[in-house]
Structure 1
Amino acid sequence: MEAEVTVRDAISAPDASGQPRRVTRRFPLFTRDTARPEGGGRAAPGDAPAPARQWPILAVLGLVAIGLLLTALDFFRVGCLLVGVALLVGGVMRWVLPDVGMLAVRSRFTDIATYGLLGAAIVLMAMMVQPNPWLQIPFLKDTLHFTVSSG
């Protein structure tokens, strides 16, 4: 049988020893500390300069910046593809590398799923951009006609 966990309610009035009086089984309302995500440690030794310690996120952000610049310079499809590929690269780094610094936001699974799904969606949409799409999905045109038809 498991022992019951009790937490002293931090907002109740203190007793003579200075401890909060009221005891509750709920977790405290405010978190005092947050655990770093798994893999959220430095990507380089602590004595390395700050940019070297955070190279994974800098690599992803650099690719995204280049992609946005290309998009602004009227290379829309290539720029969007690069943004999507940057997210996919971030997902692969999150999967392969043990420590990725600030690239780790949530759990490893959540980060990989988020980076992967968003990156794949952006790449697919960039390949379907009109005119002259590189990728055509046949049922999408029928779905659009079905939802927009006035009949």
Structure 2
Amino acid sequence: MKTTGTLPPEGSAAALDGGHALPVRQWPITLVLAVAVFGLAITFAGGFKVGLLTVGASLLLGAVLRLVLPEVGMLAVRSRFTDVTVLSVLGAVIVLLTLVAQPDPWLQLPLLDNIGQLIGRQRH
């Protein structure tokens, strides 16, 4: 079965006109991917938490760009609401998990300590 008549998502037109090179026309997704790759490079170089915070920040940056810009090119995948929600949740989860990662978490959440104790009790 062939799908016909599908429309592109709202805001999926290129951010700049055709007179510019492709990466420049698609600067929102290029920027988000560049920040994410930079974060991965930091992570692989040994900066685990800083690198993953940068990756999470790149997703949050994508959410902000999708929310405020009228045209974002390939950064638009679904509706504006869905794109912003998914990017925000994924970015926030990566940032939160990075902040509570062991050893020496930068953020202490007593709820997570209690969950860890409950899991430890169930194993014995």
Which residue does the alignment assign to 1:43? 15
How far the C-alpha of 1:50 sits from its partner, in A, is 1.1
2:83 equivalent to 1:83 = no
Which residue does the alignment assign to 2:65? 93
Map Cα deviations across residues 59-102 of structure 1 (whole Å, 9 max, x no partner): 00000000000000010000000000000000000000000000
Q: Distance in 2 between matches of 1:143 and 1:110?
A: 31
**Residue 80 of structure 1 aligns to which amino acid in structure 2?**
L
Structure number with bigger Rg = 1
**Equivalent position to 1:67, from 39, 42, 45:** 39
Q: Which runs of 4+ in 1 moved over 6 A?
A: none
Which residue does the alignment assign to 1:52? 24
**Equivalent position to 2:112, from 137, 140, 143:** 140
TM-score w.r.t. the length of structure 2 is 0.94
For structure 2, which runs of at least 5 residues remain unmatched after alignment? none
Q: Distance in 1 between matches of 2:119 and 2:103?
A: 22
The number of residues matched between the two structures is 123
CA root-mean-square deviation: 1.2
**Percent of aligned positions that are identical:** 47
Q: Higher helix fraction: Structure 1 or Structure 2?
A: 2
**Residue 39 of structure 2 aligns to which amino acid in structure 1?**
G
**Equivalent position to 1:107, from 70, 76, 79:** 79
For structure 1, which runs of at least 5 residues remain unmatched after alignment? 1-28
Q: Distance in 2 between matches of 1:34 and 1:117?
A: 27
Q: Distance in 2 between matches of 1:129 and 1:142?
A: 15
